[in-house]
């Protein structure tokens, strides 16, 4: 035990050495650790603020708007202008015809001496206006006799004389009524025939406007199934006046479409069903077969009230032969003369009636939708001759 102090010294050295090794390592570890973030506490909210927050309504996030598919716009239905007086309002469109017939004839009749040369000019004027040979001969013979009896000829007398002769030539006693009234609870059926190119489909649309303007309800049958463009065109015209169209597949049987159209018209209770027929004219036999079949099938529902033949006035005498074929194929009851404003040959009205024995019931005087007018003899003659004060002839 004498060396205890030696053991104490060794122990003390060991303790001091250990301390010198451990303390620097602990200090280094503390410096490498991230410092703690000290967050300052927010001041407590005032009592007023707390009350406002408690009373504030809970605002919910707005819901996404519901997506609604837009409906296609409804077609605008037009109201056609009344047909009464249309021919009078459109008299300016007959200016070219007026120059050919009216003023030309008045000037010739007012000549100081009505010799053979003047009468030949009068005859030539009528022929140039497409009056036709036979009607021209009748008119000239009557004018010769009446001017001889009258002796003196004032402007008023000449105008009255010519108006009377043109009126007689136009045969005012012909029935020009459009038979479109329903009978026995069934709609009146109207067939529209004519060659392609005469404006037949457009005229069908305009006729529909005439009927609607006169208070009729109309349904159209697109039986010209060999021309898809004609079907679409007819549908466009019909929708403009709120009329329905019955159509079939392309190149479908026209008679089948016509039958379905009339049946639909009966079920819908409309006043008039109008059928737009094909206008092909390869040969008379083929045309007769097709139109004959359409008529027979339609008449299973009831008789056809009206068969209108559409003619282009600008074709003149050349178009009358084609027109004659249609009158032989089907019982044409009236003529629609289109493009009358585009020709100086207003006398074609006389020629058509004399050649076909069928009255002109409607005339087209322009490209506007309402430029189709019911034909009235006195209004037409007045339009051709102009007012009495416009007749610049000396008496």
Q: Show me where the domains of the chain are located.
A: 86-173, 188-376
What was the pLDDT predicted at 46?
Answer: 44
198 assigned ligand-binding residue: yes
Indicate the fold that domain 86-173 takes in CATH: 1.20.120
338 annotated to a ligand binding site = yes
Tell whether 340 is in a known binding site.
yes
194 is in an annotated binding site: yes
Listed residue (204, 218, 181, 202) closest to 302, CA to CA:
181
Q: Is 307 annotated as a binding residue?
A: no
Whether residue 279 is annotated as binding a ligand: the answer is: yes
Q: What is the pLDDT, as a whole number, of residue 339?
A: 85
280 is in an annotated binding site: yes
Say if residue 327 carries a ligand binding annotation: no
pTM: 0.76
State percent of the chain over pLDDT 70.
Answer: 74
pLDDT higher than threshold 50 for residue 243: yes
Query: Is 196 annotated as contributing to ligand binding?
Result: yes
Helix then strand then coil, % of the chain, to nearest 5 = 50, 10, 40
Whether residue 277 is annotated as binding a ligand: the answer is: yes
Lowest mean pLDDT among 4-18, 44-58, 83-97: 44-58
Who's near 167: CB < 8 A, 6+ residues apart?
A: 377, 378, 381
Side-chain half-sphere CA neighbours of 3 within 13 A: 3
Taking alpha carbons only, the member of 87, 110, 125, 212 closest to residue 161 is 110
**Is 142 assigned a ligand-binding role in the annotation?**
no
Please tell me the predicted confidence (pLDDT) of residue 276: 93
Q: Which residue has the higher pLDDT, 88 or 51?
A: 88
> Residues of 84-107 as b/e, b for ≥16 C-beta within 10 angstroms?
eebbeebbebbeebbebbbbbbbb
pLDDT at 378 over 70: yes
* pLDDT at residue number 266: 96
Strands 188-193 and 306-312: parallel
> For the segment 88-127, what is each residue's pLDDT rounded down to a tens digit?
766 666 655 555 577 788 888 888 888 899 999 999 988 8
* Fold classification of 188-376 (topology level): Rossmann fold (3.40.50)
User: From residue 259, how far is each of 40, 247, 256, 263 by CA, in Å?
Assistant: 93, 11, 5, 6
Averaged confidence pLDDT in the chain:
79
341 is in an annotated binding site: yes
Give the pLDDT score at 129.
Answer: 83
């Amino acid at each position: 035990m004498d060396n205890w102090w030696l053991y104490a010294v060794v122990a003390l050295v060991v303790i001091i050495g250990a301390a010198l090794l451990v303390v620097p390592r602990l200090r280094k570890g503390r410096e490498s650790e991230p410092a703690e973030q000290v967050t300052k506490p927010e001041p407590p909210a005032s009592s007023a603020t707390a009350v406002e927050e408690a009373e504030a309504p809970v605002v919910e996030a707005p819901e996404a708007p519901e997506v609604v598919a837009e409906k296609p716009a409804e077609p605008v239905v037009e109201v056609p202008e009344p047909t009464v007086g249309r021919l009078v309002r459109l008299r300016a469109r007959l200016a070219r015809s007026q120059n050919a017939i009216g003023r030309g004839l008045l000037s010739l009749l007012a000549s100081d001496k009505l010799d053979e040369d003047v009468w030949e000019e009068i005859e030539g004027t009528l022929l140039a206006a497409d009056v036709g040979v036979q009607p021209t001969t009748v008119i000239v013979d009557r004018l010769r006799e009446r001017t001889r009896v009258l002796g003196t000829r004032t402007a008023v007398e000449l105008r009255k004389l010519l108006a009377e002769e043109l009126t007689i030539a136009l045969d005012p006693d012909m029935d020009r009524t459009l038979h479109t009234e329903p009978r026995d609870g069934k709609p009146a059926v109207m067939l529209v025939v004519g060659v392609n190119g005469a404006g037949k489909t457009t005229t069908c649309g305009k006729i529909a406007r005439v009927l609607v303007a006169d208070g009729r309800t109309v349904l159209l049958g697109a039986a010209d199934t060999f021309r898809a463009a004609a079907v679409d065109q007819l549908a466009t015209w019909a929708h403009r006046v709120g009329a329905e169209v019955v159509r079939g597949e392309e190149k479908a049987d026209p008679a089948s479409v016509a039958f379905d159209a009339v049946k639909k018209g009966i079920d819908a209770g409309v006043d008039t069903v109008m059928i737009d027929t094909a206008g092909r004219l390869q040969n008379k036999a083929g045309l007769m077969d097709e139109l004959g079949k359409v008529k027979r099938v339609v008449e299973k529902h009831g008789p056809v009230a009206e068969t209108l033949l559409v003619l282009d006035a600008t074709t003149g005498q050349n178009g009358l032969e084609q027109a004659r074929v249609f009158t032989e194929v089907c019982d044409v009851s009236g003529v629609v003369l289109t493009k009358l404003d585009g020709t100086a040959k207003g006398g074609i009205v006389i020629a058509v009636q004399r050649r076909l024995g069928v009255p002109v019931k409607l005339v087209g005087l322009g490209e506007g939708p309402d430029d189709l007018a019911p034909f009235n003899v006195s209004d037409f003659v007045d339009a051709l001759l102009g007012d009495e004060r416009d007749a610049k002839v000396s008496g």
